[in-house]
Structure 1
Amino acid sequence: MSLLQPRFPGERALVTGIAVDALGSGMYIPFSLVFFHHVTGLPLPLIGLVLTVTGLVGIAAVPLVGIAVDRFGARTMQISLYVVRGLSFACFPLAQALPVFAIVALLTSVGTRAFRPAQDARIAELAQGTDRDRLQAVSRSLSNAGLGAGTLMASVIIATAGDFGYTVTAWLNAASFLAAGYLATCTPAAPPRPPAVPRTRGGGYRLVAKDRPFLGLVCANLLIAFGFSALTSFLPLYVTDWLDMPEGLVGSAFLLNTVLCAGLGVAVAALTRRRFATRPRAASAGAALISLAFLALAALGTVRSQSVPLLLAGLLGAVLVMTVGELVYSPSSGAMSQFAAPERLRGRYLATYQLSWSLAYALSPMVFTVLLTVDGRLPCLLVAITAALGSLLLVRVERHLPSEVVAFVPTPDTGSKTTAAGK
């Protein structure tokens, strides 16, 4: 376990902060729409519009955060964004009028969208070698475990405290961000940077735009990320409307995915590092499994058996394959983005990579719903095709990437790590 056997200075505080963050987010995320509807009294379509607009603004802020990470450091930005997120959630109960609601939602969106590149840059500062792959797996496992545990806790609080329970969960989420921010202050400062290269007119994001192998990774991730977003934005509608299964069975698919990601993420990532020669091949195999899973869902939608147990077995089988693909793909793809980013432009590179995730999650609801109106199987086929194309692109781009990005090179074992590991 990473928490019990830290391998580099600051790992215990870093991982504990991720766990606290995940637990708080899990308490609130499933109830956000209900909370705003309860507090503001605004109609749900208007609330959805505000959240969509602020979400797009949050995406637009990601490149600015990349610049800030490069200028002020990942540790400073990670702590600052924890504080912004904590304060924004603490102000949720004040969002009783539309202008205040819009401001609070905007701060929340910017803090949430911008946080991931700052955290990935911080991981890259502290960890080396395959420790980065391992931390990607740990982070994803904790996020899924926190979502499940937090949702359960929030359900108990709301059932016990009634409407005031929504306010309590918002404040607890705010407290979790502030606590995670404090833990981030307990991690060591970043190692000294090498002497800066003189700034040129082609610096910054222009250099990112000229890095074709890295842009290949970004494009591949954008194509594959539609599969991740489909689990929440498409699968429930497909199961209930096209497969005509009872709504109560949708939760079984989410439960399977959450439990497997939380319980097996680290173990599958370790097995992946032993079984695959390179990160691109591992990520490509994960994407291929995601493609296969959605082909299976399309086939299930073609058969459309009248037997609910048979449909449920097919659904859970497809979700199982999808989840294994997710567990194989995510750690390697995340680590590749970190290794491919030059240290002095790490913030900009990781912000660009994060945009591929954000765009997939922003576009998928609209794309999937439009396709669903034509044929329920079309979204499945679209995801199967995009994931397969992403898998092929990863194989193609491998030969153009530096060896440190491609190879699973073990973390150097130094004596200083042992003495400082408990920090």
Structure 2
Amino acid sequence: MYVPFTLVFFHYVTGLSFTVVGAVLTVTGLAGLTALPLAGAAVDRFGARPVQYVLYGVRVAGFALYPFAHALPAFAAVALVTAAADRAFPAVQQSLIGEVALGADRDRLQAATRALQNGGNGAGALLASLVIAFAGPTGYTYTAWGNALSFALAALLLRPLKPVRSTTARRRAGYRMVLADRPFLVVTGANFLNALSYSALSVLFPLFLLEWLHAPAALTGAAFTVNTVLCALAGVYVGSRVRRAGARRTRAAALGGTLFSAAFAAQIVLGTVRPTSGPVLGTALTAVIVVYTLGELIHSPAAEVLAVSAAPEALRGRYMAAYQVSWSLAKAVAPSLFTTLFAADGRLPWAVLIATSALAAALLIRVERRLPAEAVRPQAVTVTHAAAPATAPVAA
């Protein structure tokens, strides 16, 4: 609920200055990355759902305590543990998907999860805006407590899940095995390159729109709205079409990256032409966002499930923690990378993103033969009378 105005949110909730809030969030965000290896090891030992409960509990406590964290040490302490839970959550969530679904069902669940997440982001932003509009500055406190309540409700929704974990002995190779798995590291590296494309929407697009194209600020909000609505409404449909086409996950992810490149190339054209007509610019930017979002809808489920399925079950938590580092590093690097390139030429960041997206696509295609077959091709799950379900390749 607080994402659209993070700095303002914490400023009003804690009473601390914007400078202090920004510095604390940056430091604690980076420090929170240290929780990833611990979370991965915990998943491999206890399973994903128990670790999810812990992370939800930490976030419930964190947001419930934020309104009382007026002193700098208190705010830093609460922000640190909350950031650690936030950074660890995606890796644990992906591990949970691997435990509750098999084969093509993982692709369906991943697409549905992302669609619901985008819908939740939009609904949360709208709800937070309404609460603050009606309650004024006090609304920020209500929003913090609302966040805590939402995490508690999310934890309750986990109860009906029945994760399935292998009863075979757990391997003790730890992160050494992850680092020795060259094909998986290639998948992780390709994801880092594509993750830069995801950061472009929130970091580069507004900067390019306002400072290079001199477009109205309202167009930035409109672009986010189009992206959020399309992801929420079309995510499951696009994912099902990709599966029905029999696409390999590596190639679906590569296609998504290719669409990213097409959208970024269009931005270079816009940055060269610089249309002055509002309707022309608005229409062109909408088309760019639609192509970009289509790339996101195709790439995200395929890439995420590819990583989950390529990980050995006994070490899935550690594998997902390593994979999540690619997202976190991209988020950390993107602001300085984009602003440095933008200072030279507003079109230069888009050119670099075209190259990174193309390289990521090439890496995914090249590593395809070295990945497990069940990771590359979605497997149709068929229930048998045996203890575990069987899988078969999905026909084109």
Name the TM-score class by shorter chain: over 0.9
Q: How many residues are treated as equivalent by the alignment?
A: 387
Which residue of structure 1 lines up, in the alignment, with residue 345 of structure 2?
375
Over 3 Å counting, the alpha-carbon distance change for 1:224 and 1:273 in structure 2 is same
AA matched with 1:252: A
Please state if 1:84 is matched with 2:58. yes
Q: CA deviation at 1:193?
A: 2.4
Q: Which runs of 5+ in 2 are unaligned?
A: 388-396
Q: Which runs of 5+ in 1 are unaligned?
A: 1-26, 418-423
Please state if 1:122 is matched with 2:92. no
C-alpha distance in structure 2 between counterparts of 1:126 and 1:250, whole Å:
38
Which residue of structure 2 lines up, in the alignment, with residue 234 of structure 1?
204
Match of 2:138 among 164, 177, 182: 164
Please state if 1:48 is matched with 2:18. no
CA deviations on 1:290-312 (whole Å, 9 max, x unpaired) are 01111111111011122222122
Match of 1:324 among 294, 314, 339: 294
Over 3 Å counting, the alpha-carbon distance change for 1:246 and 1:277 in structure 2 is closer
Contact between 1:289 and 1:324, CA under 8 Å: does it hold in 2? yes
C-alpha distance in structure 2 between counterparts of 1:98 and 1:364, whole Å:
28
Contact between 1:129 and 1:412, CA under 8 Å: does it hold in 2? no
C-alpha distance in structure 1 between counterparts of 2:122 and 2:163, whole Å:
33
AA matched with 1:380: W
AA matched with 1:412: T
Contact between 1:148 and 1:258, CA under 8 Å: does it hold in 2? yes
Match of 1:112 among 86, 93, 98: 86
C-alpha distance in structure 1 between counterparts of 2:170 and 2:66, whole Å:
42
Q: CA deviation at 1:187?
A: 2.1
AA matched with 1:90: A
> Kindly, what percent of the aligned residue pairs are identical?
51
Please state if 1:302 is matched with 2:276. no
Contact between 2:199 and 2:330, CA under 8 Å: does it hold in 1? yes
Match of 1:67 among 27, 30, 41: 41
Which residue of structure 2 lines up, in the alignment, with residue 420 of structure 1?
none
CA RMSD of aligned residues (A): 1.5
C-alpha distance in structure 1 between counterparts of 2:26 and 2:168, whole Å:
41
Which residue of structure 2 lines up, in the alignment, with residue 146 of structure 1?
120
Match of 1:204 among 150, 157, 174: 174
Which stretch of structure 1 is more off in the superposition, 363-372 or 211-220?
Answer: 363-372
Q: CA deviation at 1:83?
A: 0.6
Which residue of structure 2 lines up, in the alignment, with residue 102 of structure 1?
76
AA matched with 2:311: A
Which stretch of structure 1 is more off in the superposition, 155-164 or 238-247?
Answer: 155-164
C-alpha distance in structure 1 between counterparts of 2:386 and 2:232, whole Å:
31
CA deviations on 1:206-262 (whole Å, 9 max, x unpaired) are 111110110110000000110101100111111011010011111111111011000
C-alpha distance in structure 2 between counterparts of 1:60 and 1:238, whole Å:
33
C-alpha distance in structure 2 between counterparts of 1:222 and 1:34, whole Å:
29
Which residue of structure 1 lines up, in the alignment, with residue 156 of structure 2?
182
